[in-house]
Amino acid sequence: MTKRHERRGWRPPERDMSGVGSALTEQRNPRSVDIDTMGASELVELINSEDATVAAAVAGESERIASAIELIVGRLRRGGRLIYVGAGTSGRLGVLDAAECPPTFGTDPEMIQGVIAGGYGALVRAKEGAEDDRGAGGSDLRERGVGPDDVVMGIATSGGTPYVQGALEEAVRSGAGTVFLCCTPAERDAVPVDVAIAPLTGPEVVTGSTRMKAGTATKLVLNTITTATMVLLGKTYENLMVDLQATCDKLRDRACRILMETTDVGYEEAASVMADAGGSVKAAIVMRKAGVDLMEANRLLGEAGGSVRAALALRREAG
């Protein structure tokens, strides 16, 4: 660094960045070159038209997403965890998806975790330099005792984030399952992982702003992975979230309405059954549909691995 650089508070990259400029997410979008001349209506139309391409890009990765889900379900059934690792927008989206699982599916907060470069403070105030620390990615996973029963999913839409690569290297060393999510083809095979997912969302409306299409693709992929995983783990009955944690009036009301929907009881009776079930929607459904008490409902659910449908089938088989 020259004295001039020091005086002006700027320094050149400390690592080789020669390949970053060629990443798909860093290319200029020819359709948005003149955005600085557009009015609000034109900008909305342009951004919306670009966003409309994201779902197709994610659909192109369906088989790999399904493979990741199968890997994750297998490890979670062994008592393991899914740990998202990312920096910036990628890290925030991982933390968000992890945080939404306990209230939606009644999971232990330790089961799905989000790790962001720079720590949780980076959720609300950008710490962009944290993504350059490769060693921190590995040490943050070592602090969590990552091992063979876990799956680590690195998220780096532009592909080359050192923090994420360091985390994935540590995950491989620990024997954990590994998934890598990026939005550029050159990086799909750059990291030796079990499953690589690369929805190619193309250049952003604002060059390099991966919080836009790449961020939307990330949200779609993460939602798909955790939702499908929870369905396979028996966290739903039909298409209802029967393992929700009824921790507020909205969710307590939803719990009653789920019981009404599945057992044809009125609101007051649903509330009464929910009270008898100790607030467990799953147990309440089995109690009402199978005509059993809470102890028997819990026994059936335990034998059925938590699946309401399977628990009701066991009851029918027993006569």
Write out the catalytic residue numbers.
100, 131
Query: Cα–Cα distances in Å, from 184 out to 132, 167, 239, 296, 308?
Result: 19, 19, 34, 52, 41
What does the alpha-carbon distance between residue 290 and residue 284 come to, in Å, rounded to a whole number?
A: 10
User: Using a CB cutoff of 8 Å and minimum separation of 24, what contacts does 11-20 make?
Assistant: 14/132, 15/132, 15/162, 19/160, 19/186, 20/158, 20/160
Name 178's bridge partners.
152
Indicate the DSSP class of residue 25.
Answer: G
What does the alpha-carbon distance between residue 45 and residue 48 come to, in Å, rounded to a whole number?
A: 5
What does the alpha-carbon distance between residue 37 and residue 14 come to, in Å, rounded to a whole number?
A: 36
- Tell which residue, 34, 41, 56, has the closest CA to residue 206: 34
- The values of phi and psi at residue 158, to 5°, are -85, -5
Contact 81, 113 (CB under 8 A): yes
Annotate 244-285 with DSSP letters as a single string.
----SHHHHHHHHHHHHHHH---HHHHHHHHHHTTT-HHHHH
**Alpha helices for the chain (secondary structure H):** 3-8, 40-51, 54-59, 62-77, 88-105, 134-143, 162-174, 213-232, 249-263, 267-276, 281-290, 294-303, 308-318
By three-state DSSP, how is residue 56 classified?
A: helix
